[in-house]
Structure 1
Amino acid sequence: MTHGHLTDRSVASAKALPGQRFEISDGRTPGLSLRLNGATSKTWVLRYRTRDQRQMRLTLGKTSTLSLRDARALAAEHLLRIAHGSDPATEKRQERAAPAHGVSTFAQLADLYEQVCASGEWRPKGKTKRASVMREERRVLDKTILPQLGRLPFATITRQEVKALLRAQYAKGARTTVNRTHAVIRQIFNYAISEDLVQVNPATGFSRFAEERPRETIWKDVELRSLWVGLSDPAALRAPGGGYANVGEAMCIAIKLVLLLGQRRTEIAGMEVEELDFEARVWRIRSERMKGGRAHIVPLSDAAVALIRKAIALASEGQDQAPRYVFPTNRHEDRAIRSMSLSLALQRTRNALGLGQATLHDMRRTVSTNLTSERCGVSPFIRSKVLGHIDAGGGAMVSMTHYDVNDYVAEKRRALEIWTKVLLRIVGDTELPDGRPGPRPLYSEAFARADNDNTTDGRPDSSLSELKFWQPPSV
């Protein structure tokens, strides 16, 4: 860079050789320089440092439209703004980028974020977001974020405005919701940073408002029995204020399947007929529907098959063609019920029966706890496989994740059949397969684990004899 005192004459006569580029600084205005590129291109630029000491360059315009006097005046205006903390080069870049995306408000930015997540263009964790996750993010946006921030220009939103929104939610007692709201705002601005739409994420730099403690609730046997009886006769359910509880038979079946199979509510609610193989008695859940992104095979007991067939029959009533979903929505849409609809059905059932606040996920925890208890005697490794978790089983996680594609179907089937017998004995269901009535001892002296059969004489089921502990042969 050449230093000197620029004049109108020196600006007009300044030239660079073809292919050469250099700058002549103005000795009168700090940071202002004349940028020469070849013999004809002459541009005014302003160099400055931000408050965090980043070196920036702002193009002011060409000499053909901006005289030396005007360039000095414009540079002085920018230097005054910079002294007050502005960053005009970054602001100019954002203005150029915004029209390309067509966004200016936070609501428009949220829509753009949703589009790039759905297309797979934006994959912050290296994988495309599942549809259920995006639906939950949209629900949080519509309910808690957009009413407050939606109309604001996203580039002007400050950390204090984000914290004010979160504080208001926290004050209402929405402990879990406030953290989800925080996460959604943070992710949207992370995308904006990746597109150079903003430089700072206003949802970072402070900790979560609410401390989330893992739930430990499990359904007690007496609660399971009461719930199961109510689900078996939904027409008899009454709301606390009188009138029907409005819980359909299909919803009752879906809740029962959560208990029988131990799968997530989203997986049960979105069950597709094509995923079912009744001949092999398995349910193959596609990888895109699983939380972990890996396909999952769920063995089906006779009781589960009976309930699923009944649900398909209900879905087929009044239809000209076979249903795509086991639990289709009753609206005129080609989709399954929402997982939140399943939670609402359970809430109405609980209220009608006077039960506590245990949830569908607590049912999954109940299944998990019972599988590894003395009642079932299933190993924690197989329990994890039943639930669709990735468990190294004491080995290297990389081996389980990348080199072990075993589905452990036989072991999972044995575990779920044992649990089915235990559950149906708890709830007293003698109509479904494996729900045979009759007293029996909980433990068998012949076995080192619970004898989970429902035979009337208390003898162990021969089909479960292979589950007893192995004894070395006598020499």
Structure 2
Amino acid sequence: MGNTQIGHTDFMSKVRLTDRYVASVSPPPGGRIEIFDDNPLGAGLILRVSQTGRKSWVVRYRNEDGEQRRFSLGLYPDVSLAEARKRCIQARLAASDGVDPAGAKRRRISERRSRIIKTFNDLSLVYFAASECGEWKPRGKRKRPSTISGEKWLWTKHIKPSLGALPLEDVTPLDIKNLLRGLVDKGQDTSANRVRAQIRQMFNYAILEAEVATANPVARVPMMGEETPRDRVLRDEEIRLVWRALGDPGSLTSAQGARRANQRVYVSRPVALAIKLLLLTLQRRHEVAGMLRTELDLDQAIWAIPGSRTKNGRTTFVPLSPGAVVLIREAIRLADAGRDHPSAFVFPARWDRDKALTPASLTRALRDVSKALFLPSLTPHDLRRTAASHMASERLGISPLVIGRILNHTSEKGGAAAVTLSTYALHDFMPEKRSALIRWDKLLSEIVSTRL
């Protein structure tokens, strides 16, 4: 049985499907396969088998305009082969009578949604539900929980108070411009651009999926915030100040803002440890905050971050320096203290141990610490950039290629070089990465001149 591969789907030759064959067909190693029924009773019937082993029925037909369409008939084994053939015949008969089954289904869904989606608030509920279950994938892949959490924060903080109660059709470009101008006037240029992008995506969903809007008002709203790429790299003295402050945050008092002036800066020990790990490991804030115990092999000093938690979707192996291992072991001891059952997370949330520490908590803590120290604004990514810059400096002279692998950046090389790196270099850079991170650990210890 020959087959031709197209993208991530293998379109296979026709097979006279039987109950035994359908039950026994195995999932493909990647993508999915589609098997066409060669039985005349099943003309146009397709058995679709995903990589996870999920099996579903689809019928292919042409509408009265000659356009090829597909219509889902249900999942196997909920829908048997015999039932699938019966539904296939019904769908093709409907199409021959001028009724488009797929189009009719879309209209029913659209009508149902239009009855429940009246305001922007209503749209937000459906939008976030579709994002969380994976129905809405604007970039072709499911959104990470951290992404959805960030979107919900933008919605609650900036969008909902101004636009949430408006009927969907009454959200105008002028309303959006006024919201963005207000943020820019407060100096929140980056937030203004993020809010614009969020509203645009929500209306894209309303048009393309929910089918409750016909135009996107953001199309007539330009970006208003002026963003300058950050290039902040901490000097040795700044690293020393921040590191020592994280060791004793109780000694800090807020020095900015009338309402919080002279109040003690509170940074919990787990948050302080997580921030120090940002600097030691060079990993992203959501990767450190969401660190799972199952990802760690502390005896071998390796942290394996699965692709489901990395920005580029690729698994990365992070060698842990001695200092990083010490910090992680302390975090685990703190998480287990006084508990009968350990959390799955190294940094469990304070009020719900079944959830991880939020990445935003690291950002807030760094902001409060930097203000109390009278330092310029400091973000988690600044720590990552600082560590990478010190590695590349004359003090350590580490290869940019090795630094890129530690950062888990996608290779910019093309052709055969990219294939070689992506296929064979998964573990090959471990010695180089480990050596680089140990050397950075030692330099950091010299800079802070204190025990980790």
TM-score (norm 2): 0.71
CA distance in 2, matches of 1:216, 1:335: 32
Equivalent position of 1:418 in the other structure? 439
Q: Relative to structure 1, is the Cα distance of residues 172 and 235 closer, same or farther in structure 2, using a 3 angstrom cutoff?
A: closer
Equivalent position of 2:328 in the other structure? 308
Residue pairs, 1:22-41, within 5 angstroms: none
| Cα pair 2:336 2:342 within 8 Å, conserved | yes
Q: C-alpha displacement at 1:97, in angstroms?
A: 2.2
Q: C-alpha displacement at 1:103, in angstroms?
A: 1.4
Equivalent position of 1:169 in the other structure? 183
Q: C-alpha displacement at 1:190, in angstroms?
A: 0.8
Q: C-alpha displacement at 1:269, in angstroms?
A: 1.1
| Cα pair 1:144 1:181 within 8 Å, conserved | yes
Helix, strand or coil at the partner of 1:258: helix
1:115 aligns with 2:129: yes
Equivalent position of 1:227 in the other structure? 242
Q: C-alpha displacement at 1:371, in angstroms?
A: 1.4
Superposed CA offset, 1:260-308 (max 9, x none)? 1111111111111111111221111121211111112111011100111
| Cα pair 1:94 1:197 within 8 Å, conserved | no
Query: Aligned residue pairs: how many?
Result: 339
The alignment-based identity, stated in percent, is: 40
Helix, strand or coil at the partner of 1:173: coil
1:139 aligns with 2:153: yes
Helix, strand or coil at the partner of 2:303: strand
Equivalent position of 1:246 in the other structure? 266
Larger mean Cα displacement after TM superposition, 389-398 or 121-130? 389-398
Superposed CA offset, 1:154-173 (max 9, x none)? 13322222222222222222
Q: Find the structure with the greater CA-based Rg.
A: 1
Q: Relative to structure 1, is the Cα distance of residues 158 and 398 closer, same or farther in structure 2, using a 3 angstrom cutoff?
A: farther
| Cα pair 2:366 2:378 within 8 Å, conserved | no
Aligned-partner residue type, residue 415 of structure 1: A
Helix, strand or coil at the partner of 1:260: helix
Q: Relative to structure 1, is the Cα distance of residues 404 and 203 closer, same or farther in structure 2, using a 3 angstrom cutoff?
A: farther
Helix, strand or coil at the partner of 2:138: coil
Aligned-partner residue type, residue 210 of structure 1: G
1:198 pairs with 209, 213, 217, which one?
Answer: 213
Aligned-partner residue type, residue 432 of structure 2: E
Superposed CA offset, 1:297-337 (max 9, x none)? 11101110011101111111111122221111211452111
CA distance in 2, matches of 1:96, 1:313: 51
Residue pairs, 1:190-339, within 5 angstroms: 190-195=204-209, 196-240=211-255, 241-339=261-359
1:378 aligns with 2:393: no
| Cα pair 1:98 1:104 within 8 Å, conserved | no
Q: Relative to structure 1, is the Cα distance of residues 378 and 339 closer, same or farther in structure 2, using a 3 angstrom cutoff?
A: same
| Cα pair 2:176 2:221 within 8 Å, conserved | no
Helix, strand or coil at the partner of 2:317: strand
| Cα pair 1:381 1:393 within 8 Å, conserved | no
Helix, strand or coil at the partner of 1:204: helix
Structure 1: stretches of 5+ with no match in the other structure: 1-92, 433-475
| Cα pair 1:327 1:337 within 8 Å, conserved | yes
Equivalent position of 2:92 in the other structure? none
Aligned-partner residue type, residue 227 of structure 1: V
Q: Relative to structure 1, is the Cα distance of residues 341 and 206 closer, same or farther in structure 2, using a 3 angstrom cutoff?
A: same
Q: Relative to structure 1, is the Cα distance of residues 96 and 229 closer, same or farther in structure 2, using a 3 angstrom cutoff?
A: closer
Q: C-alpha displacement at 1:198, in angstroms?
A: 1.6
Q: Relative to structure 1, is the Cα distance of residues 400 and 365 closer, same or farther in structure 2, using a 3 angstrom cutoff?
A: farther
| Cα pair 1:262 1:386 within 8 Å, conserved | yes
CA distance in 2, matches of 1:250, 1:379: 32
CA distance in 2, matches of 1:108, 1:360: 34
| Cα pair 1:392 1:399 within 8 Å, conserved | no
Structure 2: stretches of 5+ with no match in the other structure: 1-105, 256-260
Q: C-alpha displacement at 1:401, in angstroms?
A: 8.0
CA distance in 1, matches of 2:205, 2:191: 21
Aligned-partner residue type, residue 309 of structure 1: R
Q: C-alpha displacement at 1:405, in angstroms?
A: 5.4
CA distance in 2, matches of 1:164, 1:117: 27
Q: C-alpha displacement at 1:356, in angstroms?
A: 2.5
Q: Relative to structure 1, is the Cα distance of residues 238 and 369 closer, same or farther in structure 2, using a 3 angstrom cutoff?
A: same
Superposed CA offset, 1:170-228 (max 9, x none)? 22221000000000000011111113322211111343111221111111100111111
CA distance in 2, matches of 1:97, 1:108: 14
Equivalent position of 1:160 in the other structure? 174
Equivalent position of 1:388 in the other structure? 408
CA distance in 2, matches of 1:96, 1:281: 52
Q: Considering only aligned residues, what root-mean-square deviation do their CA atoms show, in Å?
A: 2.2
| Cα pair 1:371 1:415 within 8 Å, conserved | yes
CA distance in 2, matches of 1:150, 1:192: 15
CA distance in 2, matches of 1:401, 1:206: 42
CA distance in 1, matches of 2:377, 2:174: 35
Aligned-partner residue type, residue 367 of structure 1: A
CA distance in 1, matches of 2:368, 2:174: 39
Q: Relative to structure 1, is the Cα distance of residues 404 and 116 closer, same or farther in structure 2, using a 3 angstrom cutoff?
A: farther
Helix, strand or coil at the partner of 1:330: coil
Helix, strand or coil at the partner of 1:391: coil
Q: Relative to structure 1, is the Cα distance of residues 236 and 164 closer, same or farther in structure 2, using a 3 angstrom cutoff?
A: closer
CA distance in 1, matches of 2:330, 2:151: 33
| Cα pair 2:278 2:288 within 8 Å, conserved | yes
Equivalent position of 1:178 in the other structure? 192
1:106 pairs with 120, 124, 129, which one?
Answer: 120
CA distance in 1, matches of 2:275, 2:153: 23
| Cα pair 1:386 1:412 within 8 Å, conserved | yes
Equivalent position of 2:97 in the other structure? none
Q: C-alpha displacement at 1:426, in angstroms?
A: 0.9
Aligned-partner residue type, residue 278 of structure 2: V
Larger mean Cα displacement after TM superposition, 243-252 or 387-396? 387-396
1:357 pairs with 377, 384, 409, which one?
Answer: 377
Helix, strand or coil at the partner of 2:215: coil
| Cα pair 1:219 1:358 within 8 Å, conserved | no
2:110 pairs with 97, 100, 110, which one?
Answer: 97
Aligned-partner residue type, residue 383 of structure 2: M
| Cα pair 1:391 1:400 within 8 Å, conserved | no
Superposed CA offset, 1:9-35 (max 9, x none)? xxxxxxxxxxxxxxxxxxxxxxxxxxx
Helix, strand or coil at the partner of 1:203: helix
Q: C-alpha displacement at 1:152, in angstroms?
A: 1.5
CA distance in 1, matches of 2:198, 2:150: 10
